[in-house]
Structure 1
Amino acid sequence: MRQKFIELGEGYTDIYELIELGRQMPERVKAALAFHSEINGQSKTSLALIMKPAEKFQPIYICREGIPNPHEIPNTRFDLFQKMTEEIQTDIHEYTLKPSTMFPETDLYYQYLIGILRSNKELPRLL
């Protein structure tokens, strides 16, 4: 099964699309994620939804490093994401990771995230 990140944007207005995906398809949401990292001295957070597989494909929708870390600077966008996860009865799993800026290509960053998610049993291993 192929697992792939689908980047919706950096979380400014596209976070509302991510929230709507969760609300419209709660039965497909496998996990909600928050990735915290530091970029140029600023704490940033990515929000993501792992969806249940469809055929031979498992999408992971993400808004990458676009909102402040809510543990340092409370913000409405994270609050809205958290409210959606409460509505669909899903917990947010949080990770502190390297930022995407440490990787020469975004695809390498996403491979790094997939490795972390497989290690933590958020994603099934490839057979």
Structure 2
Amino acid sequence: MIQRFIEIGEGYGDLYELRELISTNPHRFKHGFIFASPTKEGIPTLSVAAAFEPASEGGFMPIYICREGIPENSKRLGIFEEAVKKLGHTPIKMDVKHSSHFAEKRFYFSHLIAILRLNHFIPPMQ
């Protein structure tokens, strides 16, 4: 199974696209995540992500993410939380390193996938 983050933006207008993906795919929705990442200056930023079950063929498990553009206690965060709660789930909150700590974005996403696997939120690599 291939698990991959698909970045759809930084949590501005693209957050509404993520909400739409969640609401139109309730049969595939697995988990909603809120990643808290302090910047190098210590300012907390949030990322929101939604993991979906793999498609019936191909074994590809997408995890859509709006990366590090949402301030704490913002209306945009509430929109995401509401979409997840409508499906009977609770968003999973985690503190993670900011992506600026990694040389490349792909290393950051690999780091997040490892954390999600270790916590059994997504299946192990097969």
Q: CA deviation at 1:20?
A: 0.7
Q: CA deviation at 1:11?
A: 0.4
Q: Distance in 2 between matches of 1:29 and 1:90?
A: 9
Q: Deviations over 1:51-87 (max 9, x none)?
A: 0011310000000001012xxxx21001111111111
Q: Alignment RMSD, CA only? A: 0.8
Q: Which runs of 5 or more structure 2 residues have no equivalent in the other structure?
A: none
TM-score, normalised relative to structure 1 = 0.94
Moved more, 93-102 or 82-91: 82-91
- Count of residue pairs the alignment pairs up: 123
Q: Distance in 1 between matches of 2:12 and 2:118?
A: 29
What amino acid does structure 2 have at the position aligned with 1:88? L
TM-score, normalised relative to structure 2 = 0.95
Partner of 1:98: 97
Partner of 2:87: 88
Q: Which runs of 5 or more structure 1 residues have no equivalent in the other structure?
A: none
Partner of 2:110: 111
What amino acid does structure 1 have at the position aligned with 2:110? Q
What amino acid does structure 1 have at the position aligned with 2:51? I
Q: Does 1:66 align with 2:69?
A: yes
Structure 1's consecutive aligned runs of 4 or more residues displaced over 3 angstroms after TM superposition are none
Q: Distance in 1 between matches of 2:79 and 2:65?
A: 15
Q: Distance in 2 between matches of 1:78 and 1:7?
A: 17
